[in-house]
Amino acid sequence: MAYTSSTPVEEIKRHMTLEDALHTRIDMGVCKGMTLEEISIKRFPNLRWYVYGYRGNDNILRAAAQIVWDSLQEGNKAG
């Protein structure tokens, strides 16, 4: 399934793997050039912002951030 930045977030989330989400690269702001995996390790508050505060037009970034966030929350519940 191919998707674009304008594809609805829920549709992207149905097809994007956690690995794809972790490798999503940020192309703006203080985290420019970092992947969501790097952000989840080094700049965790920024990951939360991409999930709850990001208001840009990139639904791929929005979906990827939610997938990474959800996986970390599930990991915390299991531990």
Q: What is the mean pLDDT of the chain?
A: 94
Q: Where are the domains of the chain?
A: 9-78
Q: What does 8-57 look like in DSSP terms, one character per residue?
A: -HHHHHHH--HHHHHTPBP-SGGGTT-BHHHHHHH-HHHHHHHHHT--SS
Separation between Cα atoms, residue 45 and residue 62, nearest integer Å:
15
DSSP annotation of 71: H
Segment 18-42 shows an average pLDDT of 97
The number of residues in the chain equals 79
Assign residue 50 a region (left: φ > 0; alpha: ψ between -120 and 50; beta: otherwise).
alpha
The pTM of this model reads 0.91
Segment 54-63 shows an average pLDDT of 97
